[in-house]
């Protein structure tokens, strides 16, 4: 009798809460567990699965409400029917939880990561249930708002108008909570935390003593103003002894210049200050000069700059200015123009001085950017402004999907070349590469300006497509990139959400996958673009192996 009572209670609850919604929710729960570009931590996968369950449940309620609003009757399921349906839905959930472990391990194997254990699937299940429960409580609150609004509006409007207006009120409340409290407050908290972290001076990072270092007593830029990322950039990098040990021959100390957000009040002032500091330390006396657009936080990837400095035995100067505290994916959403404005200002200052120098003695000028820095660096140079006196090239790693030049070269690629590794025209100006060096194209000749895009097929920052909400991305059709799981299938709406999450988690993968670029792959790009003298194939192979080992070891 007690069991029958509980069954009837559950049946009544499902009838009131929409068995149809539970069915759609279970299907979205299952879809959320399918693989995407990058591997998922169990907690994150559980949250996504819970969100899918909740979204499907709400969709079912909405369709049920629309059906009754139109005047149709919702007939409850047969007592045995709903039990069968619930059993089938539960089986689907269990099967997809079991399959998710294999899918995640497939990606982790591609990325060279440790496989999941069985307990991770249990974690996913528990977290998804907790997530759904919390969202369900939020839904109960919105329902209370709807009912109270309807009760007040009933005395002023016809019933159908009341329903629409009450739904609008509930939607406004939901929007206000999400954007006003969750998003804005969260963004403010992140901005504040990034700002405080950026201002923190580490005990192990004292101001440099060399007069050739930015932030020294002789520098035009105060050490405290550089920010955490700027101090890391200036304080790290290979010494003369390090370069001599790996590269041999006559070596020099590389020049690095950096201006932080607190170094000057405006973008233009920071750019002018960086140029003045670059002149002071003799940056224009080097053979290679690189204008760097950092990521959103102001970070400059050591794997890229260190590699270049080793290749040219220290005969390199580089300069960068900070424009934000936020991570690139956040900057891309809320302040995409800041990076471009900053990169344009710095390039203009450096280029205007560089082109006044004698052509036979000035350094070769290059651009570099990673992630949002690649997008910013792209926009820093107008080809029509430099065509009379062009720079020598650029290396852009992990260009974000909105990058105009990258998009143009990709869309206008040669027929037969895949979207994840295009071949653009005759390869004289722009070439693409990935984990395997693709830059030595048979029959292709480099022109006076060389641009290399380093990109991985598993990089969500590069291959996210807003249209994936309703259309399968082209890079999922036909032959796929070697680091993209063959189990990754396109599901309308779900794939869009998965890749949006991938954009946040893409920096947590091992070097050479996702949005983390390996030193040995930078090496290939810099060799192709700058042609460093005095290197043999064996020497480059030894340097690549050493840089790879150091990056993997975190040194």
Beta strands (DSSP E) in 357-428 are 364-370, 393-397
- Which tokens sit at 291? 């204008």
Task: Identify the CA nearest to 301 among candidates 208, 219, 233, 352.
Answer: 233
Cα separation, 472 vs 44, whole angstroms: 24
**pLDDT interval class at 272 (50, 70, 90):** very high
> Which distant-in-sequence residues (6+ apart) come within 8 Å of 551 by Cβ?
303, 511, 518, 519
Write out pLDDT tens, residues 462-505: 999 999 999 999 999 999 999 999 999 999 988 999 998 898 88
- Which tokens sit at 176? 């206000």
Greatest mean pLDDT among 173-182, 294-303, 387-396: 387-396
Mean pLDDT, to the nearest integer, of 448-460? 96
| Strands of the sheet with 288-293, listed across from one edge | 255-259, 316-321, 288-293, 364-370, 393-397, 450-454, 430-433
332: helix, strand or coil: helix
CA dihedral 18, 21, 27, 28 (to 10 degrees): -150
Task: Report the chain's mean pLDDT, rounded to a whole number.
Answer: 85
Give the Å distances, CA to CA, from 414 to 299, 378, 427. 34, 22, 10
Q: Which residues pair with 320 in a beta bridge?
A: 258, 292
The larger pLDDT score, comparing residue 297 to residue 470, is at: 470
Given a cut of 90, is residue 257 above it in pLDDT? yes
pLDDT score recorded for residue 189 = 43
The two beta strands, 430-433 and 393-397, are unpaired
Write out pLDDT tens, residues 122-131: 999 999 999 9
Task: Identify the CA nearest to 317 among candidates 294, 287, 347.
Answer: 287
258: helix, strand or coil: strand
Binning the chain into helix, strand and coil, the percentages to the nearest 5 are: 55, 10, 35
**pLDDT interval class at 152 (50, 70, 90):** confident
The CB density around residue 70, as the number of other CB atoms within 10 Å, is 7
Q: Per-residue DSSP letters for 83-109?
A: HHHHHHHHHHHHHHHHHHHHHHHHHHH
Look up the pTM and report it: 0.86
Given a cut of 70, is residue 173 above it in pLDDT? no
* CB crowding 187-225: b at 16 or more within 10 Å, else e: eeeeeeebeeebeeeeeebebbeeebbbbbeebbbebeb
Cα separation, 224 vs 215, whole angstroms: 8
Q: What is the 3-state secondary structure (H, E, C) of 215-256?
A: ECCCCCCEHHHCHHHHHHHHHCCCCHHHHHHHHCCCCCCCEE
pLDDT score recorded for residue 514 = 95
- Would you give the distance in Å from CA 499 to the centre of its chain? 10
**Whose structure tokens read 């009757």?**
73
- Which tokens sit at 25? 């929710």
pLDDT score recorded for residue 191 = 46
**Whose structure tokens read 């920096």?**
507
The larger pLDDT score, comparing residue 201 to residue 221, is at: 221
> Which distant-in-sequence residues (6+ apart) come within 8 Å of 36 by Cβ?
460, 488, 495, 498, 499, 501, 502
Is 132:54 a contact under the CB 8 Å cutoff?
A: yes
- Which tokens sit at 191? 């901005």
pLDDT score recorded for residue 329 = 58
Cα separation, 206 vs 491, whole angstroms: 52
Q: What is the DSSP letter of 414?
A: P
Degrees to nearest 5, angle at CA 478 with 475 and 479: 85
Q: CA-based Rg of the chain, rounded to a whole angstrom?
A: 28
The CB density around residue 68, as the number of other CB atoms within 10 Å, is 10
The CB density around residue 230, as the number of other CB atoms within 10 Å, is 30
154: helix, strand or coil: coil
């Amino acid at each position: 009798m007690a069991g029958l009572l509980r069954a009837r209670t559950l049946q009544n609850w499902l009838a009131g809460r929409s068995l149809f919604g539970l069915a759609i929710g279970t299907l979205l729960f299952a879809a959320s567990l399918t693989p995407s570009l990058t591997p998922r931590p169990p907690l994150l996968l559980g949250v996504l699965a819970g969100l899918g369950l909740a979204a499907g449940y709400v969709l079912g309620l909405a369709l049920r409400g629309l059906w009754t609003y139109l005047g149709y009757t919702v007939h409850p399921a047969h007592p045995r029917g709903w039990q069968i349906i619930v059993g089938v839905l539960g089986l689907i959930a269990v099967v997809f939880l079991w399959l998710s472990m294999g899918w995640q391990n497939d990606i982790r194997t591609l990325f060279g990561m440790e496989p999941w254990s069985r307990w991770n699937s249990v974690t996913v299940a528990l977290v998804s249930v907790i997530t759904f429960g919390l969202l369900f409580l939020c839904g109960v609150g919105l329902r209370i708002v709807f009912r109270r609004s309807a009760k007040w509006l009933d005395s002023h409007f016809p019933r159908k108008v009341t329903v629409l207006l009450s739904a609008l009120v509930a939607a406004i409340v939901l929007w206000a909570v999400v954007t006003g409290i969750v998003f804005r407050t969260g963004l403010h908290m992140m901005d504040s935390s990034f700002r405080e972290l950026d201002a923190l001076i580490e005990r192990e990072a004292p101001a440099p003593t060399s007069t050739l270092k930015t932030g020294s007593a002789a520098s035009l830029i105060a050490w405290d103003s550089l920010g955490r990322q700027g101090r890391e950039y200036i304080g790290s990098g290979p010494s003369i002894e390090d370069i001599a040990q790996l590269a041999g021959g006559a070596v020099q100390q590389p020049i690095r210049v950096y201006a932080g957000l607190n170094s000057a009040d405006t973008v233009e002032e920071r750019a002018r200050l960086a140029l003045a500091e670059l002149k002071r330390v003799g940056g224009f006396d080097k053979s290679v000069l690189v204008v760097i657009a950092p990521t959103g936080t102001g970070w400059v990837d050591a794997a890229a700059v260190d590699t270049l400095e080793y290749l040219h035995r220290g005969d390199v100067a580089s300069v960068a200015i900070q424009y934000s505290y936020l991570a690139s994916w956040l900057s891309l959403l809320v302040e995409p123009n800041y990076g471009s404005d900053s990169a344009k200002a710095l390039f203009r200052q450096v280029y205007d001085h560089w082109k006044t120098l004698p052509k036979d003695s000035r350094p070769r000028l290059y651009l570099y950017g990673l992630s949002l820095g690649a997008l910013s660096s792209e926009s820093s140079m107008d080809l029509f402004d430099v065509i009379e006196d062009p720079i020598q090239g650029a290396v852009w790693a992990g260009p974000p999907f909105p990058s105009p030049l990258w998009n143009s070269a990709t869309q206008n690629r040669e027929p037969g070349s895949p979207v994840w590794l295009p071949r653009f025209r005759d390869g004289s100006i722009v070439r693409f590469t990935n984990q395997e060096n693709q830059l030595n194209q048979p029959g292709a000749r480099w022109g006076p300006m060389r641009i290399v895009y380093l990109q991985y097929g598993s990089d969500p920052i590069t291959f996210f497509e807003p249209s994936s909400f309703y259309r399968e991305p082209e890079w999922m059709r036909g032959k796929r990139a070697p680091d993209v799981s063959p189990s990754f299938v396109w599901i309308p709406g779900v794939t869009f959400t998965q890749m949006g999450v991938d954009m946040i988690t893409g920096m947590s993968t091992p070097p050479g996958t996702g949005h983390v670029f390996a030193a040995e792959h930078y090496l290939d790009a810099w060799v192709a673009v700058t042609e460093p003298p005095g290197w043999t194939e064996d020497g480059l192979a030894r340097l690549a192996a050493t840089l790879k080992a150091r990056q993997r070891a975190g040194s």
